[in-house]
Amino acid sequence: MNKAGDRLIAATSLPRYQHVKEINLEFAQDIEDEHLEVLQSKCFVSLQKLESLNLNGCQKISDKGIEAITSTCSKLKVFSIYWNVRVTDIGIKHVVENCKQIVDLNLSGCKNISDKALQLIAENYQELESLNLTRCIKLTDGGLQQILSKCSSLQSLNLYALSSFTDKAYKKISSLSLLKFLDLCGAQNLSDEGLSCIAKCKNIVSLNLTWCVRVTDVGAVAIAEGCTSLEFLSLFGIVGVTDKCLEVLSRFCSNTVTTLDVNGCIGIKRRSRDELLQLFPRLRCFKVHS
């Protein structure tokens, strides 16, 4: 929306928005630090009960703006700053200092945060339920391990397009007993050994293994046998899996799987939809990637 910053300030100045609980500024291109600083100084009362703040794609906001807005909303539970390349570890420090109740944090595309940010998150958000680190390219095994060792309540973990992690960190995912959603698309260093550890997460319902090129039947079978509640599974582009993993998957997960992508898996025999439905009667989606 045009002039979103000015509109937001005007709206939160009205009596009817004094107890606003959610603000969505997704891709409001003109939102700047100055707007958030005005909110801090003039609309402080209106934001006291704010629980959800979406700043996705607000590219002009920096650590300065993050400090201003988070200082006004101590009850914030859901915070999303997708694709912000200006925010650094300093901005995350402001978040954890000002907002102690965060359970859902989306840092997807924040390319300038490092392991220091993950350390701050791990130390302050041990009740965190959802974390998205897609394309946070400066992160290493050390930072992720801190998250995995302290944030045991995680139900959703998105590590899409992060090729720097290794089994050293992936094995620690096994400690997340409540995990339901896991995205490892592009995890080039994930081996069967690491995936077999992840298979200990019995409650996983959605698992994206697209382009996990080191995985073979060994790891895929371990997932089939361990994660028997699977509803969504993508093996797209994995050349090391064969019909064997599909047969085991059918044996253990035929009554749960609704989405299965094995396109590009040259070791798996091409099947018609009807043939796949014989293996997985509940199947509704056959292709995740185009």
Give per-residue pLDDT as tens, 196-249: 999 999 999 999 999 999 999 999 999 999 999 999 999 999 999 999 999 999
Q: What is the mean pLDDT of residues 33-40?
A: 96
Residue 38 domain flag: no
The residue written with tokens 């701050």 in the block is 120
At residue 164, the pLDDT reads: 93
Residue 281 domain flag: yes
Residue 185 domain flag: yes
List the domain range (segments joined by +) for residue 111: 58-287
Q: What is the mean pLDDT of residues 84-95?
A: 98
pLDDT bracket for residue 1 (50, 70, 90): confident
pTM over the 0.95 mark: yes
Question: Contact 76/51 with Cβ under 8 angstroms?
Answer: yes
pLDDT digits (tens, 9 = 90+) for 156-192: 999 999 999 999 999 999 999 999 999 999 999 999 9
pLDDT bracket for residue 250 (50, 70, 90): very high
Residue 4 domain flag: no
Domain count across the chain: 1
> What gap in Å lies between CA 151 and CA 78, rounded to an integer?
16
Contacts of 58 (CB under 8 A, 6+ apart): 25, 26, 27, 28, 29, 31, 81, 84
| 3-class SS of residue 181 | strand
Residue 45 domain flag: no
The token pair that represents 259 in the structure block: 């989405």
**Cα-flanking dihedrals φ and ψ of residue 158, to 5°?**
-110, 115
pLDDT at 290 over 60: no
At residue 288, the pLDDT reads: 77
Residue 20 domain flag: no
Residue 22 domain flag: no
Question: What is the CATH number for 275?
Answer: 3.80.10.10
Residue 97 domain flag: yes
